[in-house]
Amino acid sequence: MIKLTQDTRPDDVVDFEKPETLGDVRAWSYSALKVYEECPYRTYISRVKGVKEPSGAAADRGTEIHQYAEDYVNGTMGEMHDSLHKFKDEFEELRALYIDAKVELEGEWGFDLDWAPVGWMQKELGLASNSMHSYKKTTRLPE
C-alpha cells in the first residue's frame, strides 16, 4: 500500500532558537513579506531607512475605497459610496454585524515572543495583527 502521509511536517523547524529581538523592521504585512521575498534591499530602504515609495493611481484608489468601506460599515458615512455598490449586500451585512458587535474594524492583537497576549503598544510586543474583519493583517515588531 502506498503511504499517503508524512511522518513530519515539511515546514517544521526542529532546531529553532527564539531570538532576543526580531530585527529592525517594525511592522510586517502580507504585502511587505512579498516585497521582501522579491527584493530584501527594497525592504531595507523602505522599512528600515524610511524612504517612501511613490504610490500609483491604483494604490491610491484602493486606499480611498478601503476608507469608504470602513466609514460605511462603522456608520461614519450615512450613504454607501458609489464605488461600494458592486458589493452592496456584503457591505450592508457587515454594517449590520458591526452594529450587533459581531465584527470589529481594525482590531489589534499583540503577542510577545512566547505568544502571550500583550497590548498593541506595549514594549514587550513581539508580533501583532491589525485586522478589519479578518481582512487586513499587519505584524508589528518590538522596538
**Residue 6 counted as domain residue:** no
**Residue 68 counted as domain residue:** yes
Please count the structural domains in the chain. Answer: 1
**Residue 31 counted as domain residue:** yes
**Residue 17 counted as domain residue:** no
**Residue 127 counted as domain residue:** yes
What range defines the domain where residue 31 resides? 27-49+57-140
**pTM of the prediction?**
0.55
**Residue 22 counted as domain residue:** no
In total, the chain counts a number of residues equal to 143
* DSSP for residue 33: H
Give exposure, 123-137, as e/b (b: 16+ Cβ within 10 Å).
eebbbbbbbbbeebe
Task: Give the model confidence (pLDDT) of 58-82 as tens digits.
Answer: 999 999 999 999 999 999 999 999 9
In the sheet that holds 127-131, the strands lie side by side as 117-118, 107-111, 127-131
**Residue 9 counted as domain residue:** no
**Residue 10 counted as domain residue:** no
Task: Give the model confidence (pLDDT) of 18-54 as tens digits.
Answer: 777 767 776 666 777 889 899 999 999 988 898 988 8
Phi, psi of 43 (to 5 degrees): -65, -45
Give the E-state strand segments of 10-53 in sequence order. 27-29
